[in-house]
Amino acid sequence: MSGNPAFASFVPGKPRRVLVLAHGYPWPDNSRTDSQLLAYASARVEAWKDFAHGCGAIVIAPVFGGTAFPGYREMAGADPRPDEFVNQLVDRLGRRYLGKGFDGRFSLHGHSAGGQFAARYLLTHPGRLREVILSAPSAYPFPDPHVPWPNGMARGRDLVTGRAAAAPVRSRWIAAAATVTVIVLVGSLDIDNRPAAAGQAGSSRLTRGQNWVGQMRTLAEAEGQTASVLLAVVDDAGHDEDEMTAPAQARLAGDWGTSQPVS
């Protein structure tokens, strides 16, 4: 692997939980340097700091998209993979600040490209998650056995290493659909056509989100389980990461049972 994995973080005075932020990539090319991406991840932590302080959340923002993790959207790569790096960070900071009672579970928020990572992390590691906010991803791993991973349930290929990559086993898809609180958060104005991609049902972030939620709910219900995946449309919102932050914070505050104001 080239590049050194990096992250930004915030630890409140009285930590009670862990929140991972998978940031977006709001640029049309891949020309951003690692230092620029670290600055962006740090800015995302800053945008969440007041909320995290009030809710007692340790915030961890891995630096994604640079030389260390160019394939983070598809959760691709090796030594470590982006999901493995997240697990290492969560375990290290969780044990340090929450002590022996920390069970390794955390909350995950991903916006846009980070939402693609978060959706694939959800399917791969449902047992690590308390809740997930998928904020306007452009592509999802659909529960389609005929579409290769990372867009479906069939065996695929790691887009960074080129090696064969197995999709998560079916039981993990069911666990993701029925045991983890998952909110797909999309702006009502996020309706621009997205590039075609394998297995994607819908042409915009809004329609793809609607269809993915529907298919995941159908998967859970076919197993006789109550679906835990929901769609939340943010009125008059587009795709801007800052614009989508307050609605995401409000959802998390509700899940955590806190009354902290959002930023």
Q: Which residue(s) pair with 7 in the sheet? A: 62
**Tens-digit pLDDT profile for residues 130-158:** 999 999 999 999 999 999 999 999 999 99
Task: Output the pLDDT for position 189.
Answer: 98
Closest C-alpha to 3, from 43, 24, 33, 26: 33
DSSP element (H, E) containing 60: strand 57-62
Q: What is the residue range of 136's domain?
A: 7-256
What is the tally of structural domains in the chain? Answer: 1
**Tens-digit pLDDT profile for residues 216-226:** 999 999 999 99
One-character DSSP codes across 222-260: HTT----EEEEEETT--S-TTTTHHHHHHHHHHHHT--P
Report in angstroms the alpha-carbon separations of 34 from 64, 136, 176, 186.
9, 24, 32, 28
Rounded Cα distance between 7 and 138, Å, is 24
| Residue 262 covered by a domain | no
| Residue 261 covered by a domain | no
Below-70 pLDDT ranges, the chain = 1-3, 259-263
Task: Output the pLDDT for position 3.
Answer: 65
- CB-based burial label for 182 (10 Å; 0-12, 13-18, 19+): buried
Rounded Cα distance between 10 and 167, Å, is 33
The CATH number that applies at residue 174 is 3.40.50.1820
| Residue 38 covered by a domain | yes
| Residue 29 covered by a domain | yes
Can you give the pTM of this predicted structure?
0.96
Task: Output the pLDDT for position 257.
Answer: 86
Task: Output the pLDDT for position 263.
Answer: 44
Closest C-alpha to 126, from 165, 180, 66, 78: 180
* C-beta atoms surrounding 193 within 10 Å: 10
Task: Output the pLDDT for position 64.
Answer: 97
Closest C-alpha to 52, from 87, 6, 20, 91: 20
